[in-house]
Amino acid sequence: MGAEEELVAQLRAGDEEAFAALVRMYHNRLLRLAQTVVASRSVAEEAVQDTWLAVVRGVDRFEGRSSFKTWLFQILLNRARTAAKRENRTDLLAESDWDERFDGSGAWVSPPTHWSDLVDDRVVAQRLAFRVHDILPLLPDVQRQVIMLRDVEGLSSSDVGTLLGLTDGNQRVLLHRARTRVRHHLEMEMDTV
């Protein structure tokens, strides 16, 4: 039995320390994911709190068909989506704004340049890495969620597909578009350096 499964078993037995350990392990990750769904940090924090309450109340119903992490993220996404509907959030960027980067067949009009090869100064590269955090809120909701779950949280494509209700093909397209948008913003950043 792994450490996480041990903590879940202890939580089922009412161990408060196990709950505290799970919160330390996942709280910030849940908050980051919630912020991909809702517009404000305060609403994201409420969704995370609701998630932890649901975990405590529902841990006995966790069947282990998926990992605890996937189950936890599913609860969070459900809570955050409900909160987002209340917020009536709109995307900051429209899908059509990016169509000019691709031709009718979906191929690049002009392939992206390898901006990372041009970076000689590690300080500049590090600053750009921190910029990704600022860029993510500019992505449409589902793209932001896919890139967070795949590239930040490291979930498998099948887990992400299950969590977000996406086909493998749709998920690949969304991940590609999200990475393309992040890259575009970073390229713009490089042009100003």
What pLDDT digit, counting tens, does each position of 35-74 carry?
988 888 889 999 999 999 999 999 988 888 888 999 999 9
Q: Is 184 exposed, middle or buried (0-12, 13-18, 19+ CB in 10 A)?
A: middle
Distance of CA 117 to the CA centre of its chain: 27
| Residue 87 vs residue 37, higher pLDDT | 37
- Same fold for the domain at 3-87 and the one at 95-192? no
What's the rounded Cα separation, in Å, for the pair 28 and 48? 9
Domain boundaries, the chain: 3-87, 95-192
> Between the CA of residue 70 and those of 15, 64, 73, 110, 123, what are the distances in Å?
22, 10, 5, 38, 35
Q: What is the CATH number that goes with domain 3-87?
A: 1.10.1740.10
Q: Is 120 exposed, middle or buried (0-12, 13-18, 19+ CB in 10 A)?
A: exposed
Local structure of residue 94 (DSSP, 8 states): -
Q: Which of 172, 174, 98, 90 is nearest to 137 (CA)?
A: 90
| pLDDT (0 to 100) of residue 20 | 93
In percent, the amount of the chain with pLDDT more than 90 equals 30
Q: Which residues contact 107 (CB under 8 A, 6 or more apart)?
A: none
CATH topology of domain 95-192: Arc Repressor Mutant, subunit A (1.10.10)
Angle between helices 168-192 and 157-164 (to 10 degrees): 100
What pLDDT digit, counting tens, does each position of 93-140 carry?
444 445 566 666 666 676 665 555 554 555 555 666 677 778 888 889
